[in-house]
Amino acid sequence: MTGRRVPRIPTPSWYAGAGSDQDVVVSTRCRLARNVDGMPFPCVAADDDLIEVGRLCAQAVASIEPHGLSVGRPATEPGLLADLVAARYASFRWAESERPGRVHIAPDGSWSAMVNEEDHLRVQVMFGGFEAEAAVGRCRAIAESLARQVAFAHHPDYGWLTASLSNAGTGMRLGFLLHLPALASGPALIEAVEAARRMGCVVRGAFGEGTSGTGAFVQVSNRCTWGPEAHDAVGRACGAGRYLVEREREARHELMGRRTGASDIADASAGARDRILNADLDAQELIHCISILRLGMAVGATKGGIVRTGEWIGAAGVMGWVERTGRNRSYERMRRLAAIRSELRS
């Protein structure tokens, strides 16, 4: 695929980052799931149904964001699919399907709408750092605007109806991508993750269930979207996120307080930087190196803008994806590593 030009997508707003707590919090994401009333869900829908869903959703999205980018599926350029996944505009699941679907992306890169993933419509807003209030507010506003254009399936007792019961009710998932390298290096991690679970949250690897090689990047999000506990889902997710942030900071402080702590982190960061620049890394090695380097930046042991590491994490994630799926493996590894190296050298 080398030599083919991959169309540009809007730069995700979470790459730039403006939120708080970026030493630990990479990004905040709020997602709302909805299904078009009267249409079968994607898992059983015929292609004609999915095309009609796509048309209805495209009209609704265009009514509130006429200048966004819309990317169709199938027959999209593979490099473009990888870019959508790296930017987290689209999920691995969406990108792997070849059935009719689309992703709509706001020009400012702050939100996207996946059409025909597990549900007909998944609207998501992402910001860098800890930005829960802004992400939830924006996502709800977008979903409410869309609901004025297209009727979504709803039940008085069950709330918004989704293909999986785990999303029914509010359809909302508020999550944070956290970097917990110090906590992950010691026994306190298990206790911290269990505490987050007791607070009503799900803790997973950076790239979803069953993925390995997270490099101590984890996602924490609310578990409940239905019933009494769903009413406080935002508070629970924020509480668990804040708790893990503070525990990570304590663990970093403890690390730095050791006799050789600062120099050990500086040495490890230099080694990680050298490997990124010079070694032919696979995705798992890359994410570990990014993790070490990011820790070094966060504690001031090495130079570099920590905000830029968000994009690198996305790149490592998509490298892992192409390694698993065999999609343009060499090409994607080459261009992802080249982009990161270029920034590290500058």
255/253 Cα distance (integer angstroms): 5
Contact between 203 and another protein by CB under 8 A: the answer reads yes
Contact between 47 and another protein by CB under 8 A: the answer reads no
The CB-of-184 to another protein minimum distance in angstroms stands at 6
265/249 Cα distance (integer angstroms): 15
Rg (CA), the chain: 20
Q: What are phi and psi of 37, to 5 degrees?
A: -60, 135
Task: Check: CB of residue 158 under 8 Å from CB of residue 94.
Answer: no
Strand order in the sheet with 101-105: 69-73, 101-105, 111-115, 121-128, 25-34, 172-179, 217-222, 201-205
134/121 Cα distance (integer angstroms): 21
108/139 Cα distance (integer angstroms): 14
Choosing from 2, 3, 5, 38, the residue that interacts with another protein (CB under 8 A) is 38
Residues 110-149, interacting with another protein (CB under 8 A): 118
Contact between 236 and another protein by CB under 8 A: the answer reads yes
111/105 Cα distance (integer angstroms): 6
The CB-of-73 to another protein minimum distance in angstroms stands at 19
The CB-of-279 to another protein minimum distance in angstroms stands at 8
Total residues in contact with another protein, by rule CB under 8 A: 69
Contact between 93 and another protein by CB under 8 A: the answer reads no
Contact between 158 and another protein by CB under 8 A: the answer reads yes
The CB-of-197 to another protein minimum distance in angstroms stands at 8
CB atoms closer than 10 angstroms to residue 268: 18
CB atoms closer than 10 angstroms to residue 341: 14
Residues 275-294, interacting with another protein (CB under 8 A): 275, 285, 288-289, 291-292
Peptide bond into 74 cis (omega under 30): yes
Task: Check: CB of residue 295 under 8 Å from CB of residue 269.
Answer: yes
Q: Which stretch binds another protein (CB under 8 A): 10-18, 20-28, 31-39, 126-134?
A: 31-39
Choosing from 9, 30, 182, 319, the residue that interacts with another protein (CB under 8 A) is 182
The CB-of-212 to another protein minimum distance in angstroms stands at 6
The CB-of-271 to another protein minimum distance in angstroms stands at 3
Residues that bind another protein (CB under 8 A): 35, 37-41, 43-44, 118, 153, 155, 158, 161, 163-166, 168-169, 181-182, 184-187, 189-190, 193, 197-205, 209-212, 214, 216, 218, 223-227, 229-230, 236, 251, 255, 261, 264-265, 267-268, 271-272, 274-275, 285, 288-289, 291-292, 295
